[in-house]
Structure formats: C-alpha cells, structure tokens
Chain A
Amino acid sequence: MANRTGALEQPAAAGARATSLWGDAWKRLIRNRLAVVGGVIVLILFIFLFFGPIIAPYPYQEQHLQDVLANGNRPIGPFQGKYLLGTDNFGRDLLSRLLDGAQISMTVALVVQAVVLLIGLPIGAAAAWYGGRVDSILMRFTDVMYAFPDLLFIILLSVTFRETALGTALNGVLLVFVAIGIVSWVGMARLVRGQLLSLKETEFVEAARAIGVSDFKIITRHLLPNALGPMIVSITLGIPGAILAEATLAYLGIGAQPPRASWGKLVVDGQQYLRAEPHMVILPALFIGMALLSFTFLGDGLRDALDPKLKGKQ
C-alpha cells in the first residue's frame, strides 16, 4: 500500500558515489536499535530455516502418546520434564513443531519475494523503458491485479491447482507460496516503474545510449542498481504480509497439510485447549508476532538508512 503513495518519484543518489552511499546506509542502519534487534531476529529465523531440523530435539511429527497418557491424557505444559516448551495433545514436542513452522514461514518469505521479483521486476522495467503502449497495457494489467481481493484469489488458486504437480509439492506448501506471490507483485512492478522512469532521464543513461549500449544492459547495469535501495525496502516490508497470509490460510486449513506444523495450524490445534494449556496458542502466536515485527523493524530501519532525504538529520 505504501508503495502507491510513497516516494515513487524521488531522484536516486548519483551512481558515482555508490560505495560510500551503501557504507553510509550501513552506518545509519546499525545506529538504529530497533532495526538491529529486528535484523538479529531475522538472522536467527534464517538459521532456523536451514538448521531447524538439526536444532529440534525431536522430529516435528513424532508422537509421544505414552507421555501424554502419563500426564492424565492432557498436553504437557512447558518447562516440565523432557519437553522444553511442552507438547500438544499427541505428545508432539512443541519446540520442534515451532521450528518446523519457522521453516515454513521463512520459506514463505523467500519464495513469495522471489515470485514478486520475477514477475514485478520485468513488468515494471518494461513498462518504464518502452513507455507508450507497452506501458499502458502493463499498467492496465496491474490495475486488474490490484482490484482482486487478495486472500480470496489465493484461496481460489490453491483450490484450482491442488491436484497438479505444483499443488502437491512440499505437502501443498509451495502452491500457497506461489499464489501469495502472484497477488503481491503489483506493488513491486509499480515501484520499479516509478524508479526507472525518473532514472531514465538522467545523463549517465543518455551517455550509455549514445555510445550504443544495448537496452538490456542499460536496464540491468545502470538503472536497476540505482533503484536497488527502494526495492530492498519494499521486499523486506512485503515479507510480514506474506508470513501473515500463510499463517491465516493455514488457520483456515489451506496450504501446509498435516503433519507439517505451520504456525497458523498450531494456533488451531491449541485453540480447544486454550483455557487449560494456553501455551499451545500463546507460543505460536509469539513466534508469529516476533517474525512479523522483526521484518517490519528491519524494513523501517532500511528505509530510513537508504533514504537520502534524511541524510544529516536525526
């Protein structure tokens, strides 16, 4: 949403100072305490993505029914015995399941933004570079995508392709990711277009054209690197929306199928035990909240750090 209203037309910093620009941005970023905390949590989440199954004390789907029976047939609470964060009603270790959920959520973050880039970047770049009819057709198309009710379209896509190869890949997880990406690329396309439109008129682009550099090379070597800052910010700030959409769909039973443990699914599982064993809902809710906040803080920090308008202030 912010992309539509944000600083689409601001001039980018001059290319010649690229290295010092990134250096300055880095200095501003690490001075921002919230952004640093967000960044550290994001790093930890990425560690969970790659090493989650190794860190997890048990396989996420392994049931320990004996221990649940010994507990009076109730989920085991946190900090009791051998399960650090307790278990669910099947005696599945909650920490291990939360780590599996982290893996799902972080894959969402990566796959969705990859789809957003793959679709949004070429469309935005083509619209800006060729202008005229190409521009108006592509932008009309983004108008249509913009009018789609997001979650409804994701649900429709995931039902339509449920039985295809894409739909069954990774327990149904991949399809939902791609569907979320397909409804999310419009903001990126508009952002890239806005950035490129203003860069296109600069003298270094004119110079590159004059000496006969090809269109493709001008776009990839001269235009996109200069538009990188706002794109990084947009990608980072788009991730919480994608994670939230996946959790919401999992809550509705769409996407990751059992025994996989999406955070949204963990909330559903814990719902019926909420009064007796609140940890089953509180813990996944905390993990969701932490992931949403860390990306938001990091994205805000990146925006402040990369925005040349704020230079020297604060």
Chain B
Amino acid sequence: MFGYIVRRVIWIVPVLFAVSLITFTFMHAAPGGPWAREKNLPARTVELLNEKYGLNDPVPVQYLRWVGGLVTGDLGPSYKYQDRSVNDIVGDGIGTTVHLGLMAFGLSVLVGIPLGVIGALRHNKIPDYLATFISVIGIATPSFVAAILLLVFFSVALRWFPTHGWDGWENPGAMVLPTLALALFPIAQISRFTRASMLEVTRKDYVRTAQSKGLKERTIVSIHMIRNALIPVVTILGPVLAFLITGSFIIETIFSVPGIGRFYVISISSRDYGVIMAMTVLYAAVIAVLNLVVDVLYAYIDPRIRYS
C-alpha cells in the first residue's frame, strides 16, 4: 500500500508537467499577445515590453524559464495587472476560492447524503419523492441560473443577503447565496448516488440476515446499510470537491467573490500568460491530488480493495 501511494504521488509530477506543456503550447499558439488592448500601443512600446518580459525568445526557452521559476516558487509577472506578480494574485485569491469550495462541499455532503439515505429508506413514499424532487431541481438548474434567481429573490427583492462581496466569517450573510448556488448540483449528484447505493445494499444477503436475526431497524440501517452504502459514495466525493474548487469561477464572477476563479476568463482573453499557467497547473494539481486521496481512502475504508 505504501509503495502504491509513493508511486502515485511521484506520477503526479509528470502529469502536471504534461498539462503545463500542453497549456503553454496552446496559449502561445493563440493569435495576439498581452499588449493588444483597445487603444493600440505604439510599436516601439510593444517592442520594449516584449524585450523586458522576454517574449521575443523562442517558445521553448520561455517554457523552460517558466518551469525554472515554478521550481523556485516564482510564477512570474502579470501582464494585465502590472503592479502585481502572479504570486500575489494567486496568493490573494486562492484562500477565498478554497473557502467557498469547502463550504459548498460541506453543504453538499451534509444535505446530499441524508437526502439519499431517507429517499432509499422510504423508497417510493412521500419522503422519497421529496428528496427526488430536490435532486431533480439540482440537476436541471445550471449554477449561473441558480445564482441569478437566488440573487434577484433573496438579495434584490427580500434584501436578506448582500448582492456581492465576500468577507469570510466577518460577514457570514455574504457567504450564503454563493455557497448555495455552487452546492445545488453536487447536492443532487451525491443524493442520487447515495440513494442508488442504499437501494442496492437493501437487497444484500447480509441485510436480510441482520433482519432475520431480529436486530433493531436502527442498528441495521446505521451499522449494516449506511456504512456499506457510503463506500462507493466516497469515490465521487473527490471529483465533487475538485469540481467545487476548480469550477467556482462563474459563481465568483456573478457574486463578485474575490477568489482566483474569476481571473481565469479575463486572463485568457487578455493573454495574461503567467496567470493562465499558474491557474491551470494549480487546478490540475488539485484534481490529481484529490483523485489520489479518494483512491487511497477507498482502499482504507473497504478492506476488500487491495492495490499493488
């Protein structure tokens, strides 16, 4: 097991290397450069800027320079926000993005799993229909639609929550709507998955054995059913958390949450090479690490799984 984990951790490095190389290639293949603004800069200025930032060097040289910077922890300059380095931009925003992602993750798990369990235990009864209804809403509503509707209803009409901004725990009210809008889809996903898994467990022989030897319903559900039913659910929690951290940029944009997600679209359209690279590699690392964590966790909680 230990050897397996070490091999997987080491494997993340070439994966991230490949991701960064592909991104770098496409990025530089895109027409235009970071200096193409609305008001065209004089050719001489562009020339000097390219000279200063080494953008006239061959692309492979630039890539190696970027890798060198990455190894020493320097993500380079931002071309759009020239008074800030990429380290500053990422450092300022990553905490908020992770905070928002974790809040939404907590909400999805705390709501999604009970919904799924109740739905399966009251299969084809009113609580099941209610739980299914909630997950249907979650599947059918894209996060940007949910965000707009929540904004208009709860912020503009009822004035319960602010329309934008984010102060962490200083202002908990501002966290409610972004978290809710982001968590809606994962709630549906987790509850559907949990429900299906619970229903499958219900048919297992060991549950029938537990019932026939007269165990209390509560014991059967909590010890025999839920614990087994949650094993496959764990496998989707990694991708769900990765999605919540890397996919929050729409929500960040709509609610003006100062995370790093909202920089991505801007940085691509303004060819802010350093920000694009930093975010892609950072997000890829989040996805790769969370997948590894899930695989290891899976083997840990289910003794039937053995990696070699």
Contacts and interface: CB of A to CB of B under 8 A. Distances in A.
B176 interface: no
Interface stretch (A83-91, A109-117, A282-290): A282-290
B142 A247 contact: yes
Contacts of B269: 159
B31 interface: yes
Interface residues of B, number: 48
Nearest to A271: B148
Contact of A285 (B15, B145, B247, B283): B145
Contact of A293 (B23, B140, B235): B140
Given A1-B236, A5-B235, A275-B156, A147 B287 contact: yes
B30 A240 contact: no
B304 to A, nearest CB: 14
A217 interface: no
Interface in A142-193: 143-144, 146-149, 151-153, 155-157, 159-160, 162-163
Interface string B266-282: 00110000001001100
B226 interface: no
B264 interface: yes
Contact of A281 (B22, B148, B268, B283): B148
Contact of B283 (A143, A152, A240, A274): A152
A252 B250 contact: yes
Given A147-B19, A296-B139, A152 B264 contact: yes
Nearest to A149: B283
Contact of A288 (B142, B249, B279): B142
A267 interface: yes
Interface string B220-258: 000000000000100110010000001101100100000
Contacts of A296: 139
A208 B68 CA distance: 54
Contact of A4 (B156, B235, B284): B235
A155 B265 CA distance: 8
Contact of A143 (B11, B144, B280): B11
Contacts of B253: 252
B203 A313 contact: yes
Interface residues of A, number: 40
Residue of B142, B203, B279 with most partner-chain A CB within 10 A: B142
Interface string A52-88: 0000000000000000000000000000000000000
A244 interface: yes
Interface in B11-31: 11, 15-16, 18-19, 22-23, 26-27, 29-31
A252 B193 CA distance: 30
Interface string A232-254: 00000000100010011001100
**Residues of A contacting B: mostly:** helix
Contacts of A163: 31
Contacts of B11: 143
Nearest to B27: A156
Residue of B18, B140, B235, B276 with most partner-chain A CB within 10 A: B140
A156 B264 CA distance: 10
Nearest to A6: B232
A292 interface: yes
B291 interface: yes
B136 interface: yes
B250 A274 contact: no
A162 B264 CA distance: 17
Contacts of B16: 147
A147 B246 contact: no
B140 A251 contact: no
Nearest to A304: B196
Contacts of B23: 153, 156
B56 interface: no
Interface in A259-313: 264, 267, 271, 274-275, 281, 285, 288-290, 292-293, 296, 313
Contacts of A248: 142-144, 250
A108 to B, nearest CB: 14
A4 to B, nearest CB: 7
A267 B152 CA distance: 13
Contacts of B284: 147-149
B219 interface: no
B144 A267 contact: yes
Contacts of B29: 160
Contacts of A251: 142, 144, 250
B71 to A, nearest CB: 19
A143 B7 CA distance: 14
B142 A244 contact: yes
A251 to B, nearest CB: 5
B104 interface: no
B288 interface: yes
A1 B239 contact: yes
10 contacts: A5-B232, A147-B288, A155-B264, A159-B30, A244-B142, A248-B144, A252-B250, A275-B156, A292-B140, A293-B136
Given A148-B287, A281-B145, A285-B149, 12 more contacts: A5-B235, A146-B287, A147-B288, A149-B247, A155-B264, A160-B26, A162-B30, A244-B142, A252-B253, A264-B142, A267-B144, A267-B148
Interface of B: 11, 15-16, 18-19, 22-23, 26-27, 29-31, 136, 139-145, 148-149, 152, 156-157, 193, 203, 232, 235-236, 239, 246-247, 249-250, 253, 264-265, 268-269, 276, 279-280, 283-284, 287-288, 291
